[in-house]
Chains A and B, each alone.
Chain A
């Protein structure tokens, strides 16, 4: 740097500034940006700026075979990749009229719930860090690693598994796997009181998160918010229960709701959801040894696999909300069109802009993390 090359800024005194909040900013989740105008420390207007993670997935998928795309889809949401694989597989199976074996469906539910727990643990860490508490972040990420170890044992990949393919899953569970899952669940359950002490009953956190970024149920419905953010405003809607897929209609679980709709409520909903996911996993672990059979339905040669013409819209509940794939086939060996409806596309753009406006500048990071926005889902 040569200071003499860069003259100092001179400007009339002002209380109002335009700031780039991201993409290179510690308070932003991923590679995403907000342009905010601040007056003092109050944000007077906010504008989301995405596209930093745009890879043109929808175009790429049109150029690859049905089976090849399974390697692309988990990359659309990095912290929570399994719902992407499952949702795409469900769409292809529905188009091709493939009946997935029961055992594969149960294994998929196990994967989905493990992924949800991993994403929620990551979320606790992120949300706590934006209020200045770093210990929950260290704990959450370390506990999440236990789940990544389970994924790694099953599929060979820590983050991207490419384990669910159209027709079922790639391979059966290794011996003793369910015991190790069970052990991890025991450990995570024993950690919940610690998390409560550290984070959810921590006065600093409660104080910082209460009343921040609040929205009413009416606003949430108006803006198309789904998932935990919608449940934090009091509406008990969950795709797993109300539009069931796989074997979720045979499982016993509750849908936790909170009324306040602020950052604190959103955090609490996810904490309760984590407990429900543990409950679902217990049922799956108990049930899986009694389900025998194939793990994959026979599919034609995947390199010359023409799916019948048609279109489907499949939805699953990811950790961020309602994830949907609209897949169109024209009878060829590649998708004619794939549209990914990422849940974050709603709450990371319009809702974030609304909630950040009027907030204080130090709360913008917390609002973004409490919404659990996932920028790659927006950009695709």
Chain B
């Protein structure tokens, strides 16, 4: 815990260019990308728990999230932010992990409500997962039961500042430490747990493959993994006549 003094504090200061040796224009493109990214966030439209009820007020006329450039998006493929609004039951958690892996990088996860931090008031429940950060890297927690729309917007503004300053890159951690996250998932879902996403291949693609990407849990995955094939469409009565 000694290293934790260096936790980034969200102040919108542009990161000093590391390379480029005095050339002011060297990082212009990166900065422009970060600026644009922080100003056009698409939020996945997936209501996972109670906290989702405070999002419609936050999105509509009264609190108006859209003025910050944040809009709901219906498909995970085109979304930037995954809002986990409240407790996640085991059944939902599977879908959230599938959704998270489908999203394109860079992607950000926000845990809203106390339940995502530590199980909240359902800590005794056999049906809910307790610590969301065990299963996917979380960029930001907005605590409360439930947080008000102002708190949600404040959290999103902080995320924007982090993206702007290039500090919010927790999505890389999922690739770098895939073994850790997969292990926690396997512990909850059983050893046969497998998603149709090739995370290890993507880790290489994004140049995030590290020593912790593979481990005992990914070895277990490879042992039982069925090859990644397209989902078979189950054809009904109409298909025979079409042949």
Contact = CB atoms under 8 A, between A and B. Distances in A.
Whether A and B touch (Cβ < 8 Å) is answered with yes
Interface of A: 1-2, 5-18, 23-26, 30-31, 37, 39, 44, 51-56, 59-60, 63, 71-72, 75, 78-79, 122, 125, 137-139, 141-142, 144-145, 148, 158-160, 376, 379
Given A24-B44, A25-B74, 20 more contacts: A6-B228, A6-B230, A9-B230, A9-B233, A12-B235, A12-B239, A12-B242, A16-B238, A52-B48, A52-B89, A55-B125, A56-B125, A56-B127, A59-B125, A71-B121, A125-B56, A137-B60, A138-B60, A139-B61, A141-B56
List the 5 shortest-distance A-B pairs measured between CB atoms, nearest first: A16-B236, A14-B239, A9-B230, A16-B238, A24-B46
Given A5-B198, A6-B228, A30-B47, A159 B146 contact: yes
Contact of A55 (B74, B77, B89): B89
A16 B89 contact: no
B29 interface: no
B166 interface: no
B45 A16 contact: no
Nearest to A13: B242
B92 A52 contact: yes
Interface string B68-94: 000010101100000000010101100
B89 A51 contact: yes
Interface in B142-164: 145-146, 148
Contacts of A379: 89
A211 B99 CA distance: 36
B3 interface: no
A308 B127 CA distance: 31
A272 B239 CA distance: 47
Contacts of B54: 158-159
B76 A24 contact: yes
B202 A12 contact: no
B60 A142 contact: yes
A78 B198 contact: no
8 contacts: A2-B201, A16-B235, A25-B74, A31-B47, A53-B49, A56-B122, A59-B125, A60-B124
Contacts, number: 140
Given A2-B201, A2-B202, A53-B49, A16 B91 contact: no
Contacts of B242: 12-15
B205 interface: yes
Nearest to A44: B236
Interface string B182-226: 000000000000000010011001000000000000000000000
A1 B202 contact: yes
Contacts of B76: 24
Say whether chain A's binding surface is mostly helix, strand, loop, or mixed: loop
A43 to B, nearest CB: 12
Contacts of A63: 124
B59 to A, nearest CB: 8
* Residue with the highest number of chain B CB atoms closer than 10 Å, among A5, A7, A52, A59: A52
Contacts of B92: 23, 31, 52-53
A148 to B, nearest CB: 8
B26 interface: no
A5 B227 CA distance: 10
Contact of A59 (B52, B87, B126, B231): B126
A142 B229 contact: no
B138 to A, nearest CB: 19
B127 A54 contact: yes
B132 to A, nearest CB: 15
Contact of B53 (A59, A72, A159): A159
Nearest to B101: A1
Given A31-B49, A60-B122, A52 B60 contact: no
Given A6-B230, A53-B89, A30 B52 contact: yes
B105 to A, nearest CB: 9
Contact of B62 (A1, A25, A145): A145
Contacts of B170: none
A78 B50 CA distance: 6
Contacts of A54: 89, 91, 127
A60 B230 CA distance: 41
A24 B99 contact: yes
Given A56-B125, A71-B121, A24 B239 contact: no
Contact of A141 (B60, B91, B125, B229): B60
B238 to A, nearest CB: 4
B148 to A, nearest CB: 6
A160 B147 CA distance: 11
B27 interface: no
A39 B238 contact: yes
A13 to B, nearest CB: 5
Contacts of A144: 57
Given A24-B44, A44-B236, A78 B53 contact: yes
Contacts of B91: 51-52, 54
Contacts of B11: none
A23 B57 contact: no
A142 B61 contact: yes
B237 interface: yes
Contacts of B228: 5-6
Nearest to B232: A11
Contacts of A11: 232-233, 235
Contacts of A122: 56
B238 A2 contact: no
B170 to A, nearest CB: 19
Nearest to A37: B236
Contacts of A14: 233, 235-236, 238-239, 242
B234 interface: yes
B40 interface: no
